[in-house]
Amino acid sequence: MDLKLKDKVAIVTGGAKGIGRAVVEGLLSENCRVVFADLDEAASQELQEKYSHRPNDLLFLHGDLSEEAVCESVVKEAVKEMGKINILVNNAGVNDSTGFKCSQHKFLDSLKKNLLHVFSMTKLASDQLIENRGSIVNISSKVSVTGQGGTSGYAAAKGAVNALTREWAVELAAASVTVNTVVPAECWTPLYEKWINTQDDPSAVRKGIADLVPLGRRFTTAEEIADAVVFLASPRSSHTTGQIIFVDGGYTHLDRKLSASKSFHWSE
């Protein structure tokens, strides 16, 4: 299926690794042009080198998106270098384990890292998105609906992302701008792998988590998240808006007996 993304221009925040990188590569595979912003210069340069044969299709911008001035610079540079913005993917963020006993300052810092740039990037890119009848795809997390414990800041930020998806879908509907969110649960990324490797028995912990996922008893891949994002960003999804879509192998919503017993099978 041609997703009709040829020569469209996308901004992807946090595009150097993990889900963000998979989104960047998915968009490039559909002949979209991509601007990605990230703090990790080494990973970003490695990604640029991989696509050095397409120098006009991929632009890396370094900066801390928790600062609104950096968000403004990313939007301006994208328009300057690429000529327009059709797609915004708000992906940047990190589960920083900011619990409810933290200081107010630390809680606000977590919101700054995980939420405020979503607001700033959307606001700043909105004129271009309206002009080009574009699309916004946000990346949330299962903690926004399940809770996790010990991560009040991240949960609050991702819950707000879900709410803003609906709010912005209403606000931008008259301009034919679609706004949707993709929600991962147990998705295998370099950051997840780094955490797993801090455990006493990483292999056992990984298997234990994978066994809780009903569909396939495995982690979701970053590419599977990216496939959903790229479709929602494309003109092929032009009448889908305000949706919060879980790409999680059934982890969040399916009956607990599916995850409690590996021997459970459907039967008539």
Task: For residue 267, tell me if it sits in a domain.
Answer: no
192 among known catalytic residues: no
Say if residue 245's pLDDT is above 60. Answer: yes
Task: For residue 234, tell me if it sits in a domain.
Answer: yes
Look up the domain containing 147 and give its range.
9-187+220-255
Tokens 């995980």 sit at which residue? Answer: 114
**Mean pLDDT calculated for residue range 96-117:** 95
Work out how many domains the chain is built from and give that number: 1
pLDDT on residue 267: 40
Q: How do residues 39-67 score in pLDDT, each as one tens digit?
A: 999 999 999 999 999 999 999 999 999 99
Residue 128: both structure tokens together = 């271009």
Task: For residue 181, tell me if it sits in a domain.
Answer: yes
Task: For residue 202, tell me if it sits in a domain.
Answer: no
Task: For residue 260, tell me if it sits in a domain.
Answer: no
**Mean pLDDT calculated for residue range 208-225:** 96
**Mean pLDDT calculated for residue range 228-242:** 98
Say if residue 105's pLDDT is above 70. Answer: yes
Which residue, 80, 215, 96, is CA-closest to 148?
Answer: 96
Helix (H) or strand (E) holding 137: strand 135-139
Q: Are 187 and 219 in contact (CB under 8 A)?
A: yes
Q: How do residues 112-132 score in pLDDT, each as one tens digit?
A: 999 999 999 999 999 999 999
Chain centroid to CA 15: how far?
9
Task: For residue 203, tell me if it sits in a domain.
Answer: no
Which one from 51, 154, 192, 251 is the annotated catalytic residue?
154
Task: For residue 194, tell me if it sits in a domain.
Answer: no
Q: What is the CATH number for 77?
A: 3.40.50.720
pTM: 0.95
Task: For residue 211, tell me if it sits in a domain.
Answer: no
Q: How confident is the model at residue 262 (pLDDT cuts 50, 70, 90)?
A: low
Distance in angstroms (rounded) separating the CA atoms of residues 84 and 216: 41
